[in-house]
A and B are shown apart, each in its own frame.
Chain A
Amino acid sequence: MKNKCFSWLMFALLAMGSSAAWSTSAEDNYKNFCWQCHGMAGNGMGVNVQDMSVQPRDHTSAKAMGGRSDADLFKVIKQGGLAIDKSVLMPPWGDSLSDEEIRDLVKYLRKLCKCG
């Protein structure tokens, strides 16, 4: 009996531990990392844009976003604007997000622009 309780406890603890490693939803990551420049509505009008020399992309525009492949979007989020010959103002997020979270963000962007 004692043993059974113990293994249940271990199971619960393991489940809790692994939930900490679960990835955050794309919505929450977008809010934490992207809103500041791309805006609460994803339209490129974030709280930071007033003094920026290059405007952040409007993620709701099928025209602005449609030309990019998923691989390009993944690359620019992970490695930043410079990696696809774009502005240094678009930061690299590879140290903040897992590859899985970045793939979720690419899907999320496709929903925002209704393209792809």
Chain B
Amino acid sequence: MIETNRLGVSYRGQPALTDLSVTIGGGFTAVIGPSGAGKSTLMRALNGLIPAGSGQVLFQGTPLGRPGSALLRIQQRRMGMVFQGFNLVRRLSALENVLLGRLAATSPWRSLSGWLPHGERELALHLLDRVGLADHAWQRADQLSGGQQQRVGIARALAQQPQVILADEPISALDPKSAAEVMAILHGIQAQDGLAVIANLHSLETVRRYAGRVIALRAGQLVFDDVPQRLTDNVARELYGQDALPGESQEPGGNQELPPNVHFASA
């Protein structure tokens, strides 16, 4: 569905992703890696928010269009993004925020008039109901709790009628209870609606619980790509460095040997 082909992205000459080739199909894919590994950069590159410096990103077999092109906008519409900081337009209501997901399907000049095509509002309300927020539709986004805002964010992404959800640390800013609710919704989207979900996650516990596949980045390179069962504590320790297992106890244990298909970049 989404494929990167020797993708490289750099910020002012500093490489953030190098030579990354990976194909992601359906299911729930977790992207992990230490801070600064390039996880957010990968998400933004997959969506085309930042152009590839070298190599390419393909969505359903077609290379992403150039920045500003109509092709890219059509492709972006099929990829709903969910953000760590929710990124709702704070002064708009929950419902209006969900309707933002319909913009790409509306002609720009008509969207200026504020007039909604038939059924758009119903769709948005239905999606809010789906994330458990039908009662909050007319509340301003900045008056919702973090967990509620993130659920509005998911509803907004779903309003695009996407084929993929790209979630950049969707639960890092949330308390455990809200995080569990958000993960359950993301899981439902994948399991029931058959959308592909790609999520940057920090807690290995969450990764093991929800992901069908784990991709690990370190220093902009792919260093692990396997089922979560192979993501042993040792692998994780190697990935994050000796003293950091995010969100987990640091007791030794698990498999002492690296799985054969793990190849760490020489540090």
Partners in one complex: no
Interface residues of B (CB under 8 A from A): none
